[in-house]
């Protein structure tokens, strides 16, 4: 991610408790009915969709933070991973005259015009989770994870644990999205010069069904004996791959090793069960940080252009120690 100004690190504060749940329908007011007392800060939040367990946990964290009890009126939209629909939602927020806009961009490109419209309307914009390629003077701040570092951590583990020639397939995230781009770049750099050979790579759109379908195709093309390792850009795709591997008569985690990113509950359970071999965390609980940034920007306080939240990584043994206490 290309930021031209300072970066502050927000360490372990990311682990605020928030329950996982499912996304609601598009373009709705938050809990509290958009009740709009005069002192409430009206915020439009453009979410990507409801493609994964991670996204559901992220949505619940945002709704909890931008609640009426915390002084907000939230106008929520989940774009079902349609970039054009997400941009339309942001334009709707601008026309409604919200006080601030928070965006989890589906893809990095194509944001210049609508961000300029928000700037012209004097509406501050906070990016959450994902980033954009637009000039950083078109938004006020960003809070999220270091996707490239996540990929690097996963790749370093793979390079360390696979010393013999290894055939790897990759389940990519949504094409053009920041996590897909950065997790690929970080992983590829980490395994350069190692015994790992990437024989195929295809997007599973960050969904469990997508991961299963793509993995089925890989298995038909190469056979279970022709694949040693799966690198999945998120847990949901890894879980879909597990279903495909088992249906093919092979044992995930043994016959075909799996490394993944997210560390949501289902993924961590698969790690404990030995079906996934290593997981790098991507913490979804970003709501409190995003809400704090909105308040600071509206109060004309200085903020950094980017805030990174710390991630962890887990082996099977490490996952077993923490799975029962994790909030997502």
**7-145+283-311 matches 147-281 in fold:** yes
Which pLDDT score is estimated for 38?
60
Tally the residues of the chain: 328
93: Cβ contacts below 8 Å, ≥ 6 apart: 44, 46, 75, 77, 101, 123
Nearest alpha-carbon partner for 132 in 186, 90, 80: 90
Q: Is 66 exposed, middle or buried (0-12, 13-18, 19+ CB in 10 A)?
A: buried
| C-alpha dihedral, 86 to 100 to 178 to 170, nearest 10° | -60
What pLDDT is recorded for position 28? 43
CA neighbor of 9 nearest in space, from 146, 140, 153, 187: 146
Per DSSP bridges, beta strands 72-78 and 28-29 are antiparallel
Domain borders along the chain are 7-145+283-311, 147-281
Q: What does the block give as tokens for 124?
A: 């501050």
- Residue 45 is predicted with a pLDDT of 98
Strand (E) or helix (H) holding 193: none
Burial profile 48-64: b = 16 or more Cβ within 10 angstroms, e = fewer: bbbbbbbbbbbbbbbbb
- Strands of the sheet containing 166-172, edge to edge, are 196-203, 166-172, 229-232, 257-262, 278-281, 313-314
Positions of E strands within the chain: 7-9, 28-29, 41-47, 72-78, 100-103, 125-129, 141-144, 166-172, 196-203, 229-232, 257-262, 278-281, 306-308, 313-314
What lies within 8 Å, CB to CB, of 259 at 6+ separation is 154, 157, 158, 229, 230, 231, 232, 276, 277, 278, 279, 280
Number of CB atoms found within 10 A of residue 253's CB? 17
Please state which architecture CATH assigns to domain 7-145+283-311: 3-Layer(aba) Sandwich (3.40)
Per-residue pLDDT of the chain (328 residues; tens, 9 = 90+): 333 333 343 333 333 333 333 333 344 444 333 334 468 999 999 999 998 889 999 999 999 999 999 999 999 999 999 999 999 999 999 999 999 999 999 999 999 999 999 999 999 999 999 999 999 999 999 999 999 999 999 999 999 999 999 999 999 999 999 999 999 999 999 999 999 999 999 999 999 999 999 999 999 999 999 999 999 999 999 999 999 999 999 999 999 999 999 999 999 999 999 999 999 999 999 999 999 999 999 999 999 999 999 899 999 999 999 999 988 8
CATH superfamily of 147-281: Response regulator (3.40.50.2300)
CA angle 111, 112, 114 (to 5 degrees): 70
The C-alpha atoms of residue 303 and residue 17 are separated, in whole angstroms, by 24
Predicted model pTM? 0.84
Q: How far is CA 12 from CA 16, 83, 272, 283, in A?
A: 9, 31, 23, 10
What is the pLDDT at residue 37?
Answer: 44
Nearest to 64 by CA among 97, 19, 109, 34: 19
């Amino acid at each position: 991610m290309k930021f031209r100004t300072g970066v502050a690190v927000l360490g372990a504060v990311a682990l605020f408790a928030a329950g996982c749940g499912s996304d609601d329908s598009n373009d709705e007011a938050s809990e509290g009915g958009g009740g709009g007392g005069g002192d409430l800060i009206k915020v439009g939040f453009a979410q990507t969709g409801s493609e994964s367990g991670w996204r559901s946990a992220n949505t619940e964290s945002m709704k909890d933070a931008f609640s009426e009890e915390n002084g907000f009126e939230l106008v929520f939209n989940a774009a079902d991973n349609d970039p054009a629909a997400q941009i339309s939602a942001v334009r709707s927020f601008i026309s409604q005259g919200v006080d601030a806009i928070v965006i989890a961009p589906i893809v990095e490109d194509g944001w210049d015009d609508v961000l300029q419209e928000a700037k012209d309307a004097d509406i501050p914009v906070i990016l959450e989770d994902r980033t954009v390629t637009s000039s950083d003077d078109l938004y006020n701040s960003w809070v999220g994870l270091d996707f490239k570092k996540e990929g690097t951590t996963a790749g370093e583990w793979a390079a360390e644990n696979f010393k013999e020639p290894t055939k790897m397939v990759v389940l990519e995230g949504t094409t053009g999205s920041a996590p897909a781009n950065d997790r690929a770049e970080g992983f590829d750099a980490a395994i350069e010069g190692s015994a790992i050979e990437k024989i195929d790579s295809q997007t599973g759109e960050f969904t469990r069904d997508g991961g299963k379908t793509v993995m089925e195709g890989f298995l038909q093309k190469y056979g279970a004996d022709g694949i040693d390792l799966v690198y999945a850009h998120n847990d949901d795709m890894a879980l879909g791959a597990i279903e495909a591997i088992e249906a093919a008569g092979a044992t995930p985690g043994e016959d075909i090793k799996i490394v993944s990113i997210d560390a949501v509950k289902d993924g961590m359970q698969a790690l404990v069960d030995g079906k996934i071999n290593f997981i790098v965390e991507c913490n979804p609980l970003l709501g409190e940080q995003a809400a704090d940034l909105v308040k600071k920007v509206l109060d004309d306080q200085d903020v950094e252009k980017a805030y990174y939240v710390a991630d962890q990584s887990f082996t099977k043994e490490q996952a077993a120690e923490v799975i029962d206490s994790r909030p997502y």
